A = this chain, B = another copy of it.
Amino acid sequence: MAKYQRLMDDVQQQIEAGIWPPGTKLPSLRQQVAQQGLSLMTVLHAYELLESQGWIVSRPQSGYYVAPRALAVKPLSVAISEKVDINDFVFDVLQATRDPSIVPFGSAFPDPALFPQRQLMRSLANVSHQLTASDALHNLPPGNATLRQLLAQRYARQGIMLSPDEIVITSGALEALNLSLQSLTEPGDYVVIEQPSFYGALQAIERLKLKALAIPSDPTHGIDLVQLEETLQRWPVKACWLMTTLQNPLGVTLTPERKQQLVELLAQHQVPMIEDDVYSELWNGTTPPLPAKAWDRQGNVLHCGSFSKSLVAGFRVGWVAAGKHAQRIQRLQLMSTLSTSAPMQLALADFLATRRYDVHLKRLRQILAKRQQMARQSLLKVLPARSTVTEASGGYFLWVTLPETINTIVLYQQALAAGISIAPGQLFATGDQFNHCFRLNTAWPWDTRAEAAMETLGRIMAEMAQS
């Protein structure tokens, strides 16, 4: 390794370790020459490269400073011990929500009773009568042709023109997201995510040994585009994994203007965007939201969707509209799971061929909106002082911010002991900044059990607020 590279590495590591926080003055060129025993040219070369990569900035007549990142740009630790911890916790929370005796406030799934079970089973029965033995071979990646065509038609109805050949059918959106990320990155690459964000994104980043640049997102406006732009200018970002509609866990939907800005900003920096869009059918309001993909003119957005949140959880069918990236994603799929099961693809194609999905969605949106409103009112009654909760704006999550003295990991444990699950803020972050927050699932019937659970949760929170 050349001497200037070693100096660059040292300074980068010191910045990452917080030894030189953003805004602080770095040792001057002359100090480095004296301390490191390097030539002035070597130190200057290292500093100039660090500046070009966005790590540091020079101020005329003053010297070099660590780039002022107000944003929480914090590469995820890839230490094995930490990895196991985070996944242990996510796993524990997921396990808890699978026990039917536990009130599922922490669940990621909607109440399956909301799904058109009978109609779906009719489609499955149709498939069982029609499926030929050779169908299996014709449903290998990119997936069943009819299903891809029906999906392309749904895009077209939103004004988004794309060929069925750009769509790859996957084992749920999770495989679509993971394969997309894998197709765009190599270990060590930088990836932009939101903070807070879906824990699946954090897990994928750790598993693929990537570094996360976490841009703050807030419940009113969503991702901070100014900080995103600064990050794109300063860091060699390879991909971006975002939710623009009913973001998990915040529930925020970007305005059309901001979606357009986001797409243009990323196109300008030639950074592909993986758009995780699994809740968009669950909007609440007068106009259906368009995905950011609608403003994509350059095939720069990989749009990942699924039926798991809006139609049926157990079929495990999702997709990605991946444009020019479709072939690479198919190949990754061929190597890892081979394909999505043929009968599931055919059953969905059968169901989607009619208007039943749209009829179902209309009814589903109404029920979810009502349940979310009821859950919110019930929650407001029991929240401690100085708490906030997001508006009921669609989907089936509410994001609750408690006073900073309440640690929601402790709240989670105490609630669980009382037979109630919640999804603590820790699940959605690379650090501790949301440890006083939690996500509440509002998709389940608001019955006496739920009411009683909310009262219990309120009591636990009140006790924690006092102590």
Interface membership of A204, Cβ < 8 A: yes
A159: interface (CB < 8 Å): no
Contacting pair B133 A115 (CB below 8 A): yes
Task: A129 to B121: give the CA distance in the assembly, Å.
Answer: 7
Are B335 and A203 neighbours in the complex by a CB distance under 8 Å?
yes
Of B127, B209, B314, which is within 8 A of A139 by CB? Answer: B314
Task: Check: A359 CB closer than 8 A to any chain B CB.
Answer: no
The answer to whether the Cβ of A113 comes within 8 Å of any Cβ in the partner chain is yes
- Is B113's CB under 8 angstroms from A174's CB? no
Q: Which listed residue (B98, B112, B133, B335) contacts A112, Cβ 8 A?
A: B133
Tell me if B337 and A337 are in contact (CB < 8 A): yes
Interface residue A135 (Cβ < 8 Å from any Cβ of B): yes
CA distance A146 to B226 in the complex (A): 53
Residues of A119-140 whose CB lies within 8 A of B: 121-122, 124-125, 127-129, 131-140
> Least Cβ distance of A41 to chain B in Å?
23
Q: How many chain A residues have a CB neighbour from B under 8 Å? A: 59
- Judge whether A417 is part of the interface by a CB distance below 8 angstroms: no
Instruction: Give the distance to chain B from A198, nearest Cβ to Cβ, in Å.
Output: 12
Closest to A137 in B: B98
Indicate how many identical chains form the complex.
2
Binds B, one of A45-53, A269-277, A338-346, A451-459: A338-346
In angstroms, Cα B200 to Cα A336, docked, is 9
A139 to B312, CA, bound (A): 13
Contact of A140 among B1, B98, B134 (CB under 8 A): B98
A316 touching B341 by the CB < 8 A rule? yes
Enumerate A244-284 residues with CB–CB distance to B below 8 Å.
none
> For the complex, what is the distance from the CA of A131 to the CA of B123, rounded to whole Å?
13
Q: Are A112 and B134 in contact (CB under 8 A)?
A: yes
Q: Are A174 and B316 in contact (CB under 8 A)?
A: no
On whether the beta carbons of A338 and B314 are closer than 8 Å, the reply is no
Q: Is A313 an interface position by the 8 A CB rule?
A: yes
| Complex-state Cα separation, A457 to B178, whole angstroms | 42
Q: Is A109's beta carbon under 8 Å from chain B?
A: yes
- Inter-subunit contact A109/B122 (CB<8 Å): no
| B343→A315 contact, CB < 8 A | yes
* Distance in Å: Cβ of A403 to nearest Cβ of chain B: 33
Docked complex: A142-166 residues within 8 A CB-CB of B: none
Q: Measured between alpha carbons, how far is A187 from B113 in the docked complex, in Å?
A: 43
Q: A137-B112, A343-B315, A344-B341 are in contact. Are A335 and B204 (CB under 8 A)?
A: yes
Query: Are A134 and B100 closer than 8 Å at their CB atoms?
Result: yes
Contact with B along A86-121 (1 / 0, CB 8 A): 010001001000101000000001001101010001
- Docked-complex contact A175 and B128, CB < 8 angstroms: no
Chain B residues with Cβ below 8 Å from A100 are 134
Which of A112, A121, A122, A338 has the largest count of B CB atoms less than 10 A from its CB?
A338
A–B complex contacts, Cβ < 8 Å, 20 sampled: A91-B331, A94-B334, A98-B137, A98-B138, A112-B137, A121-B129, A124-B124, A124-B127, A136-B312, A139-B314, A171-B171, A171-B341, A172-B337, A175-B336, A207-B336, A314-B341, A315-B341, A316-B342, A337-B337, A341-B344
